[in-house]
Structure 1
Amino acid sequence: MQRLKLKIQLYCGDEIAMGPGKADLLAAIEREGSISAAARVMDMSYRRAWLLVDAMNRCWREVLVETSPGNAKGGGARLTPLGQAVLRHYRALQERLQGSSDCPDYQALAKAMLPEPKSSQKE
């Protein structure tokens, strides 16, 4: 059985403003309350997570993630109202497109596709 997997990436110039990984990072930041905790949960370096947040924050009219510096009471990060809205809309778009396997165009492609690739002819 063929599978349909759509990966939605929204671009701001040459930069990916939102994609599946960035949406997962936003959700983790919302859940964990910090970039470092979100990075740990996602098995990603803090630097990588911070660079992704920085890219997102530079691509939208307002920042998606606000940070507060760490101190004795701790620091943290939270999604702004725009960050929450962007994540909600992105997830809704993902959900809508996942149901696209009922589409006649997909059905036509699936019908023409083999269940498994043929052996290479260069062997």
Structure 2
Amino acid sequence: METPLFKLNGRIWIEIDDDKVLGHGRVELLERIHASGSIRQAALQMKMSYKQAWDLVNHMNDGFKQPLVISKRGGKGGGVALLTPFGQEIISQFKDLQQKFFHFLEENSKK
């Protein structure tokens, strides 16, 4: 009998004190905030509620003990949200780790 082919698969989560603070979806949220300058716009683009996006941002900011996103309440024209340099670095490090992880999965799947 032939040995079945298999492919490894998985996702990366960054945990701090056993609490998930960063993963693929949260990185996407951060990138969309960076591109739009708005938590609300990022939430709309990802088809999630503003409250959910706001809660995720607060959770990440609290988890890293240093803000990834800073926001300013708006008046008539609305507020603004900016990715901090630390937030940009976290995204970059996550993507590097993710590429290494995908390479590991590819190299270790039976062909």
Same fold (TM over 0.5): yes
Distance 1:21 1:2 in 2: 26
Identify the residue that residue 20 of structure 1 maps to in structure 2. 24
Root-mean-square deviation (Å): 1.6
Higher RCO, 1 or 2 (CA under 8 Å, sep at least 6)? Answer: 2
Q: Does 1:7 align with 2:11?
A: yes
Normalising by structure 1, report the TM-score: 0.79
Distance 1:16 1:79 in 2: 20
How many residue pairs were aligned? Answer: 106
Task: Give unmatched runs, 5+ long, in structure 2.
Answer: none
| Larger strand percent | 2
Q: Does 1:91 align with 2:95?
A: yes
Normalising by structure 2, report the TM-score: 0.86
Distance 1:14 1:53 in 2: 18
Describe the shift of the 1:99–1:61 C-alpha distance in structure 2 as closer, same or farther (beyond 3 A).
same
Structure with greater Cα Rg? 1
CA displacement at 1:2 relative to structure 2? 4.0
Aligned-residue sequence identity (percent) comes to 35
CA displacement at 1:38 relative to structure 2? 0.1
Q: Does 1:102 align with 2:81?
A: no
CA displacement at 1:74 relative to structure 2? 2.6
Task: Give unmatched runs, 5+ long, in structure 1.
Answer: 112-123
- Residues 13-92 of structure 1: matches in 2 within 5 Å? 13-92=17-96
